[in-house]
Chain A
Amino acid sequence: MQLAYSSGVEDLQAVVVRARRGDRKAFAELYRRFHRAVHGVVLARVAFGDAADLVQDVFAAALERLPQLGEAAAFPGWLMTIARNRAIDHLRGKKPTDELTDIPVAAPRSAEVAQVLAALRALPEAYQETMILRLVEGMTGPEIAEQTGLSPGSVRVNLHRGMKLLREHLGINEEASDVG
């Protein structure tokens, strides 16, 4: 397991190096691997309707700054920092939007989706992103760890505690769920 993980890291570094040299296919590969993680990080902060556009913005900024990235291995954390900063910049001076109108789900499910999203965003910062990456983007814990730079142990703890708090926020009784 450890070997497979290490091998994945090396592959990523090779892709980053190629992208830094201007290889467009390599950059597209980076997008393919990281677009969900970037979307999750952005969605933890901005309305759903704005998130997709910001994802493109994050990758455009990354493309521009890639030559300045020192260590190829630092790419995941570096990209996530760009995503967080872009999301925060986006929020500055922007009025809150009505998320319900943007959610691609028919009413009344859209109201429930908006409620769950709001509950996810109300979680402590440490859990918000991890929970959104898991529940919205469908990433597994090991994928989240690899793409955000967190350790797998931290991701597991964040998911466990985040899910507990989310259940509380949403009024879900865990014991009842277990029985049912």
Chain B
Amino acid sequence: MSDDYLFDRSGPPDPDVERLEKLLAPLAHDAPLDELRMRRRRRLSWFVLGIAVAAAAAVAIYIALPTSHANTCTGTGFEFSAIGGDVTCGGAHVAKGVLPVGGQLDTGAHEASLKIADIGTAKLGTNTRVRLDRTDPKRHQLTLDRGHLHARVVAVPRLFAVATKHTNIVDLGCEYTVDVDASGVGRICVQSGRVELATKSGAVVVAPLGTCAAILAGQRPGLPLGDGANTAMQNAVRAYDRGEVGALDTLLAAAETRDAITLIALAAIDANPTRVLARLMELSPPPDAEITVDTALSDPEKLAAWRTDIIEIWAGLYRPGAKRP
């Protein structure tokens, strides 16, 4: 069935969509603006401004004093230990503590190990800043502002995520290393399992073990490239990530069977997925005769089945540290 009705209500109605619309319609928001609250907030804002100025002055004086800061990094959150020297949490230099939700940890010249709730650990490199956004039974999420993070997680998919300025890294059960600079640009390498890289525009690629991907500034995630890819393929992926004209042609020509792992990710984000899937059909045909270029394009389930097959083949091929087959 066409998605036109789902998208803009043109075309024949999709019965499932219609039924869900009807079921959920009572939840739609229709309350008017609470004028009273807005007025109160406006009056308060002047009052708050005065308080804020006074508080900022107090903080400035406090920071200027040569006394040690109280450790505000206690309570509920992610436990951490500094490695090689103190790190900064909540403005205090500490050897260990708890990073609370909303708290910020800076490693400065040292490193730190971080316990990710009860599902894993992370090691933070030097000059790394992380913030804890959330930790609850549904999601544990850190923001990596800059630096180096190596995470190892054993949990159900999507329970742990690392947000960076441009890309969210969602754990699908794995171990990986992320490096980003202060502008949010960097690289992720996956050592086991797989991760999902999603940008704020909704573009998503899956990077499995033995691949690295650039973390780019912009609307789409970098392409995962398998360890041991040939030099032409490496150059082509870099050119594609930079958005160079003609990079797609070069990339498709350079791709070998082992690069199916890159092409299946490319099919999810490129404006011309038909060409990518046609090339993929030559390099790594789908596991099922029902999956064709056309059906994979129209049916995300079929595309996902093809992706799973490619990842499984890749996992069988991949040997950490091994030379190119």
Interface residue ranges, A against B (CB under 8 Å): 27-28, 31-32, 35-36, 38-40, 43, 48, 51-52, 55-56, 59-61, 63-64, 88, 91-93, 103-105, 109, 112-113, 116-117, 124-127, 130, 134-138, 140-142, 150-151, 154-161, 163-168, 172, 174, 177-178, 180
Contact = CB atoms under 8 A, between A and B. Distances in A.
Interface of B: 1, 3, 6-9, 14-17, 20-21, 23-29, 31, 33-34, 37-38, 41-42, 45, 101-102, 133-134, 136, 158, 168, 170, 196, 198, 201-204, 299-301
Contacts of A36: 28-29
A153 to B, nearest CB: 9
Contacts of A126: 198, 202-204
A167 B16 contact: yes
Given A103-B26, A124-B196, 4 more contacts: A64-B42, A126-B203, A138-B28, A177-B1
Nearest to B199: A126
B168 to A, nearest CB: 7
A177 B15 contact: yes
A90 B125 CA distance: 31
A164 B305 CA distance: 14
Given A116-B24, A134-B6, A135-B17, A60 B204 contact: no
Main secondary structure of the interface of A (DSSP, over half): helix
Contacts of A155: 7, 202
Contacts of B28: 36, 39, 136-138
Given A36-B28, A55-B29, A136-B24, A88 B201 contact: no
27 contacts: A39-B29, A40-B29, A56-B34, A59-B33, A59-B38, A60-B38, A64-B41, A88-B133, A91-B134, A91-B136, A93-B101, A124-B170, A126-B198, A126-B204, A135-B17, A136-B24, A137-B28, A138-B28, A140-B7, A142-B8, A154-B203, A157-B202, A159-B7, A160-B6, A163-B16, A165-B300, A177-B15
B203 A135 contact: no
A179 to B, nearest CB: 10
B38 A113 contact: no
Among B16, B29, B202, B301, find the residue whose CB has the most chain A CB atoms closer than 10 A. B202
